Structure 1
């Protein structure tokens, strides 16, 4: 799962009315530091009956896992309407996704039987948890660690990506270790319902809107630009302008970004893309995409089109991303180019976090 970057945030935990669970700063310029689970009052470790919020889950996570997130993510691209969750981001592509929602037996089966390198059942004081992992690969994929616990008809899950998983993670010295994740997912406060105390928790740096399903706003050209800058493939774009969308159908809008080397990236959200634009042009070599659309390329040019049908509250729309280089792409390996286009498609969904839209307001003239 690719993440949108944010400005670095001091994200240590501040709990309102939570006793000594967090050491307060002694001086005005000293930042509070997160504490380990030992600071949790045992009397607080009970299920609650209040609707959980993403910030509440972030607060519980930071009591259990000693990390200092630089940003928080979420939104409809990550979680379903019947789930609650958040994603903590830090360092070089480190992420910890934490969520609660209905049990997905099929997914658990996939973890343990269809592709995961290992899967074991581990018993803890507060219940049993499933620990599953995928190993790092030679192409640089770090692998992942997932821990799941079911209780009261719900699944509570944590998924960690960022360090190389070279074997059974219980035997590795990871920054986010298995024991802490088991303690997190079996914490009785973690769920779609939590305690009143946790609903009042405040996490420094947690966005007041625009993340984890709240504060979603309509996509704008500026938000597309901000989203592109947050991807590794297009972080070197120097400037943006609005794209000419006269051939993309009614309601289309987008941007053209230019890099220092003279290359361009065009990204267009097109709710009514004409049928002819959804087919591979004769000037390109193409392969069929996963949905309606195509991937196409030639020397120094590549583009991806994806069209999505209406589903629930999500309206039908198409996303178009095109990359133009001043010379043929290096070598014959198009994989990095096509991967970048795939990631850029995520910036073209109909709604976006309000924070992303705000960051994009000054990017497009």
Structure 2
């Protein structure tokens, strides 16, 4: 969650020091630069390079392969243990206000594929490319502003290669839409034989301009701080307009709790608290709110001008047990009767409260909390 407040980075690939910058016409011999466009031409791929490798892939290698297929200029890259499992390798490209492309390779998840195609996705088809056949699934945009999503998956070599794109409105079959990241681009990406937990030596030596040396590779994860929570909130679409932060009063949230209160331009507040020992009573819906969801892992609650979300997670592996609390207070009742945008914002804000965070996010937050 490192994509807001950052200067636009050139999506230059330096494959063994030879590929062109984004401001050029994208050939392997041209290293000229120019004005950075909002959309970068993809790098041409030598068909001879489209073969599997036997070197362990890195997130940066996957980013390099991705940028050979999609015409975007990433502003940030994310990843690490908070996004991917131990047996997966992947990265997340972010650009614009709310565009993201997650790319990963790892164990086959047949249950998830079944869910995509049978239990909730708006559409699901098989699409062939020169390098293989992929499953393409999508969710349509909704009236509450959710843009929908495009997901593409391909099985090869006993593993799954997957890409998930969010940011543009999916109003119909995405194959009929003129998307910045097209179905054809993503099918070509996930069926690229170099995209996997193993890749070629050339791709392991790839250097992507702006790719962090820590954080997105799963290294450099540090303990969550109040400042990191603030930085994470500013990176969300719902809370990017917060003016200032201060430490939250966490006296009722149990031992080890900490968090921030952010003030919005209209005088409202957003409170986000990481609570490793949240009292049981705080994990249940208070009588002052109308709530949905069960009370075992938390709830969504609301009343006029106030809404809050609580989620509690059990310990899993090296991840300790913790609860996350996000509350939004408005100076007047929320506009209209539809609370979906408010609750969606709270749901996204919960992601800023996991126990560890990329070191870069923690650094950006050091000056945010007064």
Match of 1:352 among 353, 357, 364: 357
**TM, length-normalised to structure 1:** 0.90
* Partner residue, 1:69: 74
Unaligned runs of 5+ in 1: none
2:309–2:347: 8 Å Cα contact kept in structure 1? yes
Alpha-carbon RMSD: 2.4
Offset, 1:347 = 0.9
Q: Does 1:79 align with 2:84?
A: yes
> SS at 2:213's partner residue?
coil
Match of 2:345 in 1: 340
Q: Find the aligned partners of 1:242 and 1:53 in 2 and give their Cα distance.
A: 37
Conserved 8 A contact 1:9-1:205: no
Work out whether 1:250 is the aligned partner of 2:249.
Answer: no
* Equivalent in the alignment of 2:210: 205
Moved over 6 A (4+): none
Describe the SS at the equivalent of 1:103.
coil
Match of 2:42?
A: 36
**Paired residue total:** 362
Please identify, of 345-354 and 291-300, the stretch whose mean Cα deviation from structure 2 is larger: 291-300
Counterpart position of 2:139: 134
What is the aligned partner in structure 2 of residue 14 from structure 1?
13
After TM superposition, the structure 1 stretch with the greater mean CA deviation from structure 2, 245-254 or 88-97, is 88-97
Matches within 5 A, 1:107-122: 107-122=112-127
- Cα separation, partners in 2 of 1:277 and 1:363, compared to 1, 3 Å: same
Counterpart pick for 1:275 among 271, 280, 290: 280
The within-5 A match list for 1:1-365 is: 5=4, 7-17=6-16, 19=18, 21-22=27-28, 24-26=30-32, 35-37=41-43, 39-289=44-294, 291-365=296-370
Which structure 2 segments of 5+ residues have no match? 20-26
For residues 256 and 312 of structure 1, do their structure 2 counterparts lie closer, same or farther at Cα, with a shift above 3 Å needed?
A: same
Change (3 A) 1:128 1:280: closer
Q: How far 1:320 sits from its partner (Å)?
A: 1.4
- What is the Cα deviation at residue 362 of structure 1? 0.3
Give TM-score, length-normalised by structure 2: 0.89
